[in-house]
Amino acid sequence: MSIEQKLSTLNEMQRKGVLKTEGPLLLLAGAGSGKTRVLTHRIAYLIEKGVSPWNILAITFTNKAAREMKERVAAITPEGSQVWVSTFHSTCVRILRREIDKIGRSSQFTIYDADDSERLIKDILKENNISEKMYPPKFIISTISSNKDKMIGPDEYFSLVEKDFRMRKVAEIYEIYQKRLEENNALDFDDLIFVTVKLFKERPDILDKYQERFRYIMVDEYQDTNGSQYELVRLLADKYKNICVVGDDDQSIYGWRGADIRNILNFKQDYENAVVYKLEQNYRSTQYILDAANAVIKNNRHDELKSLWTNTENGNKITVYRAVDDRSEAEYICSEIDRETMAGKEYKDFAILYRNNALSRVLEERLIKSGIPYRLFGGTRFYDRREIRDIMSYLKSIYNPRDDIALRRIINVPKRGIGDTTVGRIGEYALDKGISFYDALCRCESIDTISAAAVKKLRLFIDMMEELKEAAEEYPVSHFIEKVIEDTGYRQELELENTDISKGRLENIEELVNKAVEFENGDSENKSLAAFLEEVALVADVDAFTEGDDTVVLMTLHSAKGLEFDTVFIAGFEENIFPSYMSLTSGDPDALEEERRLCYVGITRAKRKLYLTSAVSRLQHGNFVSNEVSRFAKEIPSELVEMKQQGINTYKEERPSSPKFKNPSNNHKRPMNTYKMPAPTDYTPDFEVGDKVRHIKFGIGTVTDINPAGADYEVSVDFDNVGAKKLMAKLARLKRL
């Protein structure tokens, strides 16, 4: 088939994107609009016109995308395999291997991954007597990475923060870090682009060489580029301006890791006479799903608003489901999967998406109990996550000190100066004496190969563990877990890191506390630590999913970008979860707009059926809270939606009021969602607005608001010690004073 025949298979806007080969071109490609098809055909068309494959550069974000593009180009034209198709980082490595000696560096450099960088930072801190608690290595690495993304070196960064004592120290560490990288003949991951741009700016002759080489440049997922990637592309394209970027401003969801949406929004300002084509025909989803996505995303500010459409049928309406609690939400999702699989669907047709990983725990447990095979994409099972295994190892060590595996895991977590050499010597002593590791640990003064300084650190650890053993007999499990997190310094270390990763780990630990609260409120009479460990062990060890591909997929919304599924559930579709609490309280409209773009991405993952599920009551931070249905659900037109609630199919807002609850400021008419809430059961709180109440964890507070919420009441309380909290009255067991 000739290239002309192949072009006839494209729609009108796709063909325009292929045929426009000269000058700057922006392809605004909506979700599922066939952008990869356009890029591969464009490369083939350039070669057909006589452009040498040697002069074509195609940049992607993932090796998977690069491999796919190479294969598809090669399938269209025999010369396609000669085109330079690679990721940003791979492109820069190839250039640096050939040219880095021109700026005084060796081409035999090694590339440091994140662990290598962290070890180097730790060495620098140790050598310079800088506290890791004051300057957590991950925080420093995150700061350095962010600066390199913006093309800011150590000197410039120092001038930016010279009035901030703490950040001046970080700038000094940044400078030492870069010198040590050079001494070690190494580049970290961010350096690959940072140093390439530096090379081009310092050596115009080398830049000219690659401008001549790459006369035609194509960049995929342009909305995800950061500052250094933008500058690299700008420099390479500056001579001939034959640059085609493909992206979707509505799918820009990585601002938190440095992506700058302005790169795609300002393309027409950056390149004179730039042409913009919109790819709006969707080949993935039904029209109802696309209409829902269009309705949500139009609430963002737009320069180039797109409207996705398809030639296929309208399809199923979007199901917006409101459960009584998060466990019921998970049960509903599993029941729908069971119903559809019994009708002929495969498990791999389903994906459950969520805003943060902490939400997966309840879903996983319900899937296991339902016997539905599943797998976590881009992550590990909840109980296999590092932070959860750490805390569970503390609990197991306290309950059973002879569990050597658990004890060895946490003896230096968080860091307390007990090194591998010391641990090894304790192990040798235990083996020689035929005793447990913990017993040997308790006799550390008798081990002559361990220094006095090490003995002191070990004794502090032993004393802490003995105190925790005593507390385990007195505290409810949920409170005891929180005590472990506090007394061991685990929470403090994560808070000091203050990175996206550390915040995620704190959220997961809070979800473990939620699990313990559920355990305490369960039917079993045995509420001991031993019973809790047994229950968790059964859930964690009973793995219902198979190794094959036919499994339900669980993943975050960020991980789902670029994928598609027949049926998609977006769980936790609530205010303060999605959009996130941080985006709502930051005061930054860009943060909320990025959340809305993430919602657009989630909606457009579905091909045939979409569910948006939420819960009236949900465990968050160890307490029952009630979040409103996400504002994004309310942005979808009612004619596209089928609204359901546990036991109720379609309903309207009716807020019951009661003269018992006195709050003249709003008279209890604050809308929670567009649904009719079921009338409360015979449970009624024995307190009113203005009363003092006691909570088992938060202490004494004043009731400021009460609202009916399903079979319970949402109560706002201003606690004397911890401030305002929203709780479910019955589940929180509030007592009037």
Alpha helices in 49-153 (DSSP H): 63-76, 88-99, 114-127, 137-149
β-partners of residue 705 are: 716
Whether 35 is a known active-site residue: answer yes
Cα 55 → chain centroid: 38
Task: Centre a 10 Å sphere on the Cβ of residue 556 and count the other Cβ atoms it contains.
Answer: 21
Identify the DSSP state of 677. Answer: P
- The secondary structure element, H or E, covering residue 234 is helix 227-237
Phi and psi for 606 in degrees, rounded to 5? Answer: -85, 135
For 166-195, give the DSSP string: HHHHHHHHHHHHHHHHHHTTEEETTHHHHH
Residue of 221, 224, 364, 593 marked active site: 221
What amino acid occupies position 694? R
Residue of 35, 70, 366, 725 marked active site: 35
SS3 629: strand
Alpha carbons 443 and 109: distance in angstroms, whole number: 47
Report the number of secondary-structure helices (H) and strands (E) in the chain. Answer: 31, 21
Residue of 251, 286, 422, 613 marked active site: 251
User: Based on the number of CB atoms within 10 Å of its own CB, is 474 exposed (0-12), middle (13-18) or buried (19 or more)?
Assistant: exposed
Whether 221 is a known active-site residue: answer yes
Residue of 79, 220, 349, 511 marked active site: 220
Nearest to 454, CA basis, from 489, 416, 410 = 416
Whether 251 is a known active-site residue: answer yes
Residue of 21, 36, 82, 702 marked active site: 36
Taking the C-alpha atoms of 282, 283, 289 and 292 in order, what is their torsion angle to the nearest 10 degrees? -10
Upper half-sphere CA count for residue 392 (Cβ side, 13 Å): 21
Alpha carbons 411 and 374: distance in angstroms, whole number: 34
Residue of 375, 605, 607, 618 marked active site: 605
Alpha carbons 217 and 285: distance in angstroms, whole number: 31
Tell me the catalytic residues: 35-36, 220-221, 251, 605
